[in-house]
Structure 1
């Protein structure tokens, strides 16, 4: 899902949604939000709309973080030991 409008962006709710602002992508995840790309905010109405959307997005991220019980650091995938599971095809 690409969100280029002002639709609701719920930080940390899923690992599939993306909000795009110009050439900037804000990728949602359950443990982290990734920001990629580049954005020139121009001194015009489009720039103002983009700046407001960025502000709204990051305010939602901060609000979600402030409302959560946070660990000191999120475990990286390499830090988590793999689990053996039964082969469902065997």
Structure 2
């Protein structure tokens, strides 16, 4: 697994099986699906996912966290094609 440091940037992307894990400064986004098959490939994916989630939990546990993140700011812009 490549070095993926949770919550450190807005550009790191990691792939585990059919999952895409996107790094953000305030969240980790996990999309897709994965089959953890009873074979060496399934074990490797399970270990990679376990490591990733362990890193996420450790990073969050080491921080002072708000009860909940505020909703993102939404702005309306004029349609540039109108």
| TM-score normalised over the length of structure 1 | 0.78
Q: Is the 8 A contact 2:2 2:14 kept in 1?
A: no
Q: CA–CA distance in 2 between the matches of 1:10 and 1:77?
A: 23
1:63 to 55, 58, 63: 58
The match for 1:15 is: 10
Contiguous gaps of at least 5 residues in structure 1:
1-5, 83-90
Contiguous gaps of at least 5 residues in structure 2:
76-82
Runs of 4+ aligned residues of structure 1 deviating over 6 Å after TM superposition are none
Q: CA–CA distance in 1 between the matches of 2:71 and 2:25?
A: 13
RMSD: 1.3
Q: CA–CA distance in 1 between the matches of 2:8 and 2:21?
A: 13
Q: Is the 8 A contact 2:21 2:31 kept in 1?
A: yes
The match for 1:87 is: none
2:74 paired with 1:76: no
